[in-house]
Structure 1
């Protein structure tokens, strides 16, 4: 998987996109449990999809500067840009790329103004993903 903005080790082989990234993986948090995350319900996903890694890197830099996830999605995403990257509520069995879903379901829910995100490469391009509270 890609590089996250929070500490911990990521399983690089699961995402196929980046090794050596950071990100929390493991025990379910209270926030995750209260949001329905990882308990068979739905999660609200936003993403920024870029065909080229260089464009994704620009988007990651903006997120690192504190720009809202929705604003970065409107500016850099090549998919769902008008909705600030919102894909709506998604279940584990939704017809999305498995790497994408694995990355999303590992994330702790956050807000667009203070996102906790990660990235993954799929056959469709590079995705920066966050899960909304």
Structure 2
């Protein structure tokens, strides 16, 4: 618990808002549009996410284009049900059959770039395609909790 109070001091933006007491769980949920240090992105313990995994970059780019043409290019967020349809069509991960649903996972469970992107993508947002040791991914962040 002492670590949580130290980690929120690491960002000077929003420091005054979160330093008011033990309400950082509630305050981080409503402030996802602010600065990175103040929105709880770096301090959450669990993330709920969906993803699309492809071995080839060309295929992940096709999936991203489908998401981009439907929502992202208009500044919209991709609805989870629509992301799930694209995941079922394109993902080569077994989770693709479940719409890419990874459920809740803790910090430290996923490796390298996947964890970095999953824990830094704001709730409701879709990441750009990125590479990991398993292939190319797109992540839809669905939730955060401590």
TM-score over 0.5 (shorter chain): yes
Asked whether 1:123 is paired with 2:136, we answer no
If you compute each CA radius of gyration, which structure gives the higher value, 1 or 2? 2
* Equivalent-residue separation in structure 1 for 2:83 and 2:42 (angstroms): 22
Match for residue 99 of structure 2? 84
* Equivalent-residue separation in structure 1 for 2:135 and 2:128 (angstroms): 14
* Equivalent-residue separation in structure 1 for 2:43 and 2:126 (angstroms): 20
Change (3 A) 1:77 1:25: farther
Matched positions, count? 99
Asked whether 1:102 is paired with 2:106, we answer no
Tell me the C-alpha RMSD between the 2 structures. 2.0
Gaps of 5+ in 2: 1-33, 72-81
Asked whether 1:27 is paired with 2:42, we answer no
Q: TM-score, normalised by structure 2?
A: 0.61
* Equivalent-residue separation in structure 1 for 2:111 and 2:36 (angstroms): 21
From the two aligned structures, give the one with the greater helix fraction.
2
